[in-house]
């Protein structure tokens, strides 16, 4: 009679593939950020259902449309930087990272200009419910952009030290995931806050 084997079952080579822990960690973090922004967006939508229909009439839609274009373009330049790293093109890598920093900084600068104009017109975080929700939503998003820019400065320093290559670019890719998330959130905010 055949004796049952007590040795652990052999696993297929596919099941032994390593999990990319940093990338998995970023995806888990982004999932938590989705929940965070979803709660803020739900609060804004509830206000819009009950608040005045034209509460957003003070917002500068053309300026913010330009700013949206700038932020989305920065996402493209991050992709170009990663592609350059994967080709070992150090000059293009550095160029596209610097352009990404310029675009991200421009986005925040334009947002600050918009805030100052709204303050002059009397819309503040304390003036009414629309002001509270508007500055909370866009302010939290702006904070995420600012954090991304600080992170990007660190990435640029690493790029100028020659750290990234075709074989080592994971931290740049993980940064890209964060930056694309920030851009996607802004598209949603632009539509629901400025256009609806």
Locate the domains of the chain by residue range.
22-49+60-195
Q: What is the mean pLDDT of the chain?
A: 89
| Average pLDDT rounded to a whole number, residues 79-87 | 97
| Average pLDDT rounded to a whole number, residues 136-160 | 97
Give the pLDDT band of residue 21 (cuts 50, 70, 90).
confident
Tell me which of 50 and 191 has the higher pLDDT. Answer: 191
Assigned CATH for 22-49+60-195: 1.20.120.80
What is the residue-wise DSSP string for 89-150?
Answer: -HHHHHHHHHHHHHHHHHHHHHHHHHHHHHHHTT--TTT-HHHHHHHHHHHHHHHHHHHHHH
* pLDDT tens by residue, 88-136: 999 999 999 999 999 999 999 999 999 999 999 989 999 888 889 899 9
């Amino acid at each position: 009679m055949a004796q049952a084997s007590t040795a652990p079952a052999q696993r297929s080579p596919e099941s032994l593939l390593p999990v990319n822990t940093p990338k998995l960690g970023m995806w888990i973090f982004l999932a938590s950020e989705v929940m965070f922004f979803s709660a803020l967006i739900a609060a804004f939508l509830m206000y819009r259902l009950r608040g005045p229909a034209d509460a957003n009439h003070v917002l500068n839609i053309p300026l913010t449309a330009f700013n949206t274009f700038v932020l989305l373009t920065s996402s493209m330049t991050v992709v170009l930087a990663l592609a350059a790293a994967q080709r070992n093109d150090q000059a293009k890598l550095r160029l596209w990272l610097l352009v990404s920093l310029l675009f991200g900084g421009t986005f925040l600068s334009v947002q600050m200009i918009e805030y100052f104009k709204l303050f002059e017109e009397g819309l503040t975080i304390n003036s009414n419910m629309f002001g509270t929700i508007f500055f909370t939503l866009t302010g939290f998003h702006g904070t995420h952009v600012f954090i991304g820019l600080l992170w990007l400065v660190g990435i640029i320093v690493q790029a100028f030290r020659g750290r990234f290559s075709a074989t080592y670019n994971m931290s740049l890719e993980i940064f890209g995931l964060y930056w694309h998330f920030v851009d996607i959130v802004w598209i949603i905010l632009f539509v629901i806050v400025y256009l609806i």
